Amino acid sequence: MKAFIKTLFGLACGLLAIGNANAQSHQWKFVTTGEGSTYAIEKDGSLWAWGWNESGQLGIGGGDTKISVPTKVGTDNNWKSAVAGQSYAFFIKEDGTLWAAGDNTKGVQGVGDGMGHKIPTQIGTDNNWKSVSVSRFFGHTAIGLKTDGTLWAWGEGETGALGLGNYANQTVPKQIGTDKDWASVTIGDHSTLALKTDGTLWGWGWNNNGTLCNLPSHVKTPTQIGTDHDWVEVFAVSTSAYGIKADGSLWVWGAADNNVLGLNDEEITKQKTPAKITTISEKVVFISGYRNGRVVGVGANGVATKVYVWGTNEDGALGNGTGVAADNPGGGITFTGVPVQTKLPEGTKITQLSSGEAYTIVLTDDGKLYGWGKNRGGQLGDHSSEAQMLFSTLPIPAGEKAKEEQDVFTFDAKNIPSSLKSAKQLILTGEWGTADFAALTAAIGNNSGFPPAGNNTIEKVDMSQATIKSGTSLHVAYGIGSVGTFQGCKALKEFVMPTKSEAAHFTSFRAAFQNCNKLEAIDMTGCTNLTNLTDAFFGCTTLKICDLSSCSKITSSESLFDHCEAMEEVKLPSKIVLQKYAFGSCLKLKQIDWEAYEGTQAPDFAKDLFQYVTDFKAIRLIVPDAAYDSFAAHADWSKFTLVKASTAGIGNTPANQTFAPGKVYNLSGQYITTVNSEKDLNNLPQGVYILHGRKVIVR
């Protein structure tokens, strides 16, 4: 089975052999992330881990290097907290003892025996540990805070980030100075920041990137930064840092590579004093981040109701439904310097937030976990098979086995699932050509029988993130025949085109949407190079309007709208060859807008062009003034209610019509919103819309 990416919900995984103990439903009380490993504690005090395990950092005794199934760490049920770095982790028990697992480079485990332990191993005998901070993405430095307010350091000391007054490595915890009023500590790539109980900010280590603000370039012991006394939280991430003040405001400083500071100022390369992030007006309660991204939670009283993310969007790190694959960056949003709101389930209340490398996990007040972003080591804990460990562009339940059937599939052309017969939504990313759409056609079940078997589940196809190869067709070969890619998708209601510049690469939609009898609208305005629309919308019985005004290269149109029984309005381009059955059985057709027609003489009227249509006077045909007389003199075109373009206006706007709720479209046929009252309609921006097949002006 080819790899694919899960977005909203999961699917049956290839790890069903995992014992029942690992497949249970969890009630979580704590969560944290390392670079690519996740750790969570259940309300019963048991410790669980998943994700990357190449150095044994999960604490489960080695085994697979990638684990997507939450796996219990030992048998103890008295765990309190955890923290993780690149390939190592620390754990604190309720009794205040400190434990370590994973890589032991530079003595970072703090055990002092030079070994890398793959199960939690106690550090010393002290039982008054409160918290630990580590260099999560680069380096092997650890600093612990004890309940008596003292700080202790171990691991890599080459940058002075240990704060011990030297550059030596330290294999066991050693106290930093003698102060007993430390409140918290955080470690970046080469520097350390800490807060004291009086709200002052302190730092030490390297300061080449301004992480220590205006302190010297090398600081080996704790040194106060500024004079403010209202800091409540600080977080160092890579070569920058940000903090929260008592009023809930968010401040940032350090290296500004790629505008990652969130100040929305590309001229800034280094911020050496704390600067307020004004793009977030709400009170900030949680801060986290990763090398090229930042994550904050806003709310009140220790509970966040929204999450904002900025920075890289590789592997869907923003969590807003967009994103590009880290190994195939084609299309989509790749980076933003402005905070973007993550699309969490409505009503989510977050009590904890933690980010690893391009992924984030949040804990809710009801003991659930949601995660999004990178999942290439199984760090979202969704029970996916190794082939499925890619990424999620939207928050999904984390630390739980997902639904047996997946609803939403996000994938590129290189990773098309072998079967999409149960899918409800497809999100296409990366680059696509005719051969790729042929493979997609097979996956959705359109590759056998005549007419093709079709698909009864897919409700939406979203190509907004896809790029299209030049000369691409949605009419593809199968066996000894051919078929439209989405032909017979009987549940398909919504089709989101690629950007207009990408849609211009399509050349054929022959039979592409044939018998998609629930398709309500489609935006054709970007399809400027289409030549073949034969059977394109045959049997689309709910399609009411279609704007083809941008498609001026159509030479094949036989049965274009044949049996579009609900069709009310069509807009034609300057050039089009209209062939037989193009409007066959369009019995509700009210208007053909051919204002763009470039000729002065009426075109040929193909035999059976309007097969089974008898009341031509019910159809309003708008033509350019220069061609009006020719149309009026034509034996067939004269049967229509002809209207000069200069006088067409908005003549079909309903007058004194009783309002009825319904879906609103723009003049290109794109769905805008649903209105339930006249007030809803009048609240739309000024313009012309389509409601119930009629034009409506909002002034």
Q: Render 335-399 in DSSP notation, one character per residue.
A: EEEEEEE--PPTT--EEEEEEETTEEEEEETTS-EEEEEE-TTSTT-----GGG-SEEEEEEEES
3-state secondary structure 497-537: CCCHHHHCCEEECCCCCCCCCCCCEECCCCCCCCCECCCCC
Indicate the pLDDT class of residue 108, thresholds 50, 70 and 90.
very high
pLDDT at 232: 98
Mean pLDDT of 672-682: 83
- Terminal C-alpha separation, the chain: 54
Mean pLDDT of the chain: 89
Task: Identify the residue with better confidence: 314 or 577.
Answer: 577
Question: Is the separation of the CB atoms in 592 and 615 below 8 Å?
Answer: no
pLDDT at 694: 74
Indicate the pLDDT class of residue 403, thresholds 50, 70 and 90.
low
Nearest to 192 by CA among 244, 256, 134, 152: 134
**What is the phi/psi pair of residue 207, to 5°?**
-130, 30
Radius of gyration of the chain (CA): 31
**pLDDT at residue 17 tops 50:** no
Rounded percentage of the chain residues whose pLDDT exceeds 90:
72
**pLDDT at residue 6 tops 70:** no
- Starting from the edge strand earliest in sequence, which strands make up the sheet with 151-155, in order? 129-134, 141-146, 151-155, 170-175
pLDDT at 321: 77
* 159 beta partners: none
Indicate the pLDDT class of residue 181, thresholds 50, 70 and 90.
very high
In degrees, to the nearest 5, what angle opens at C-alpha 647 toward C-alphas 642 and 649? 105
Write out the H or E segment, with its range, that includes residue 628: helix 625-633
Cα dist from 521 to 399, 496, 542, 691, whole Å: 39, 10, 9, 12
Mean pLDDT of 513-540: 95
Indicate the pLDDT class of residue 137, thresholds 50, 70 and 90.
confident
Residue 684, token pair as written in the block: 């739309």
Mean pLDDT of 118-147: 96
- Give the C-alpha separation, 280 to 286, whole Å: 13
Is the preceding peptide bond at 451 cis, omega within 30 degrees of 0?
Answer: yes
At 542, the amino acid letter reads T
- Give the C-alpha separation, 113 to 107, whole Å: 8
Task: Identify the residue with better confidence: 265 or 209.
Answer: 209
Cα dist from 366 to 274, 276, 349, 363, 661, whole Å: 35, 33, 8, 8, 37
pLDDT at 601: 96
Q: For 63, which DSSP code?
A: -
Task: Identify the residue with better confidence: 266 or 517.
Answer: 517
Task: Identify the residue with better confidence: 694 or 54.
Answer: 54
pLDDT at 163: 98
Rounded percentage of the chain residues whose pLDDT exceeds 70:
91
Please tell me the total number of residues recorded for the chain in this structure: 699
Residue 530, token pair as written in the block: 């289409």
Q: Which residues contact 509 (CB under 8 A, 6 or more apart)?
A: 473, 474, 475, 484, 527, 530, 532, 533, 536
- Give the C-alpha separation, 158 to 169, whole Å: 7
Mean pLDDT of 493-503: 96
pLDDT at 452: 58
Task: Identify the residue with better confidence: 12 or 199.
Answer: 199
* 245 beta partners: 231
- Give the C-alpha separation, 284 to 278, whole Å: 12
Instruction: Dump pLDDT digits (tens) for 220-260.
Output: 999 999 999 999 999 999 999 999 999 999 999 999 877 78
Question: Is the separation of the CB atoms in 498 and 468 below 8 Å?
Answer: yes
Question: Is the separation of the CB atoms in 516 and 485 below 8 Å?
Answer: no
Helix (H, G, I), strand (E, B) or coil at 597: coil
pLDDT at 13: 29
Residue 499, token pair as written in the block: 């950007």
**pLDDT at residue 384 tops 50:** yes
Residue 545, token pair as written in the block: 């309007």
Mean pLDDT of 542-562: 96
pLDDT at 23: 45
pLDDT at 56: 96
Question: Is the separation of the CB atoms in 181 and 214 below 8 Å?
Answer: no
Cα dist from 24 to 93, 369, 374, 375, whole Å: 23, 14, 24, 21
- Give the C-alpha separation, 627 to 629, whole Å: 6
Most confident of the following: 336-340, 634-638, 681-685 = 634-638
Residue 511, token pair as written in the block: 């039979």
- Give the C-alpha separation, 12 to 146, whole Å: 44
Question: Is the separation of the CB atoms in 502 and 526 below 8 Å?
Answer: yes
| 144-158, 582-596, 684-698: the lowest-pLDDT one | 684-698
Mean pLDDT of 329-353: 84
